[in-house]
Amino acid sequence: MPRKRLTREESRDQTRERLLEAGAAVIAKKGLAGSSVEDIAAHAGYTRGAFYSNFGSKNDLFIDLLKRDHADIQESMQQILDAGLSKKDLQTRLAEFYVQAYCGETSFALWAEARVCSLRDPKFRARLNALMLEKRDTIGHFIELFCKAMDKQLNVPGRDLAFGMMALVDGVRFFNVCMPKELPEENAKDVLHTVFAALFFD
Amino acid sequence: MPRKRLTREESRDQTRERLLEAGAAVIAKKGLAGSSVEDIAAHAGYTRGAFYSNFGSKNDLFIDLLKRDHADIQESMQQILDAGLSKKDLQTRLAEFYVQAYCGETSFALWAEARVCSLRDPKFRARLNALMLEKRDTIGHFIELFCKAMDKQLNVPGRDLAFGMMALVDGVRFFNVCMPKELPEENAKDVLHTVFAALFFD
DNA sequence: GCACTCTAATACATGATTGTATTTGAATTC
DNA sequence: GAATTCAAATACAATCATGTATTAGAGTGC
């Protein structure tokens, strides 16, 4: 195996990458406060030195992590939005929201963790809110578009309702993850579908 | 001030009580992992000795805390349920769900924290799920009752929809707490009302 | 009042985590 | 290829947390 001899920058990026990946795994498993810098570095195959050479603090790495994941989510939402808008397809697309949200298990845990951090630390909250609001806007925009297409009048601004839909999707996913026996995937989808239908189709 | 000379049991209960109260405050502010046993004890005006004499571990205290709060919530929900069931009142009562939920700020933070703990620790999850399911049953039962009273047919079992409503209320409250400027109390209520109306009245 | 019991404080041994300061060694530059 | 520069390892000093084991002192029962 002719392992390529890495340039300095490549090497640095690689470590950074690995640290982020390890951070995601470790933080998802033990929570932010429960993960030591050493944990993360070791999990990535490095020492603390590498960590501090790449990130200012655990918080910084965590925010980076969230930003990345957020960008991914935003992008896949945009893709759905941009794709096409035939009334028929829209309904299908709507259902995809749930599946779309948090493809991975770690992603979900990360955002749950972010929630509580946000609840406690105003500085963190400010940084997270920015991301949440971006998401809210995307979804809100989608809702308005959707309602216009369906000739459905709502008595709440789409931006506000977007919060509700985010809450719903997140929360239902949470129950689904924590007690898959009591709320299996299928039922979770049904619940969402029922609410969506009641809101947008009846 | 004739401070009553306390009996041994009274004294013990008092410490326990104070420790719980302190635990709520500290854990709400710093999270479970972020709070040291000493933090909690000191905040209550005691030392670690008092803590370990009253609780086996931080986790134990936390669960106790949640159980208490849960009992309170269950009780006030039951009160609403038992009160009366005139169709007119029911709609008003429904709106109260939101206000009812988590009267205090700390209570809210505690449950958010519980969520992530539950996500990470299977043992904890088992204990928490028991509480959640009790709540689910109460709300589910309420929903079924309500639909019967309103002659509204739903294509999802009330127990499942209950998960959705819990998710919704929790999540919307979260946004309301984290960004009161973007989602003020009033709008939060409107969102919930819109969803409730769409589900149960149209 | 005296022996007893239990609650909570204190002492202690141990281990974990942090951030910085310094060193090492591999890439880069000339 | 020697000097340099930078990423990452290592060493280090300082805190802080944990849990147990022991002690002190306030209630209890005779």
- The string of pLDDT tens digits covering residues B38-72 is 999 999 999 999 999 999 999 999 999 999 999 99
Q: What is the pLDDT of residue B175?
A: 97
**Closest nt by CA–C1' to A50:** D8
Q: Does residue A150 surpass a pLDDT of 70? A: yes
Enter the tokens of residue B86: 């005139």
Q: What is the pLDDT of residue A3?
A: 43
By C-alpha distance, which of A47, A1, A42 is closest to A23?
A: A42
pLDDT-derived band at A105, boundaries 50, 70, 90: confident
Q: What is the pLDDT of residue B103?
A: 66
Q: Does residue A11 surpass a pLDDT of 80? A: yes
Mean pLDDT of B119-136: 95
The region of weakest confidence among B141-150, B160-169, B171-180 is B141-150
Q: Is B159 left (phi over 0), alpha (psi -120 to 50) or beta?
A: alpha
pLDDT mean across residues, chain A? 90
Q: What is the pLDDT of residue B5?
A: 63
Mean pLDDT of A156-185: 96
* CB distance A155 to B193 below 8 Å: no
> Is B109 close to A120, i.e. CB distance below 8 A?
yes
By C-alpha distance, which of A191, A126, A133 is closest to A162?
A: A133
* Chain B nearest-CA residue for A184: B160
Q: What is the pLDDT of residue A78?
A: 86
Work out the number of other CB atoms within 10 angstroms of the CB of residue B151.
7
Confidence (pTM):
0.92
**Which chain B residues are within 8 Å of A58, Cβ to Cβ?**
none
Q: Residues 138..177 of A with a Cβ closer than 8 Å to B: which?
A: 154-156, 160-161, 163-164, 166-168, 170-172, 174-175, 177
Work out the number of other CB atoms within 10 angstroms of the CB of residue A163.
28
> Is A191 close to B156, i.e. CB distance below 8 A?
yes
Nearest residue, CB atoms, B191 vs list A33, A163, A170 = A163
Q: What is the pLDDT of residue B81?
A: 78
* CB distance B167 to A170 below 8 Å: yes
Q: Does B123 lie at the interface with A, CB-CB under 8 angstroms?
A: no
pLDDT digits (tens, 9 = 90+) for A64-101: 999 999 999 999 888 887 876 676 677 677 767 777 77
pLDDT digits (tens, 9 = 90+) for B104-120: 789 999 999 999 999 99
**Cα–Cα distances in angstroms (integers) from residue A21 to residues A63, A107, B111, in the given order:** 13, 11, 28
Q: What is the pLDDT of residue B44?
A: 97
Q: Does B132 lie at the interface with A, CB-CB under 8 angstroms?
A: yes
Q: What is the pLDDT of residue B1?
A: 39
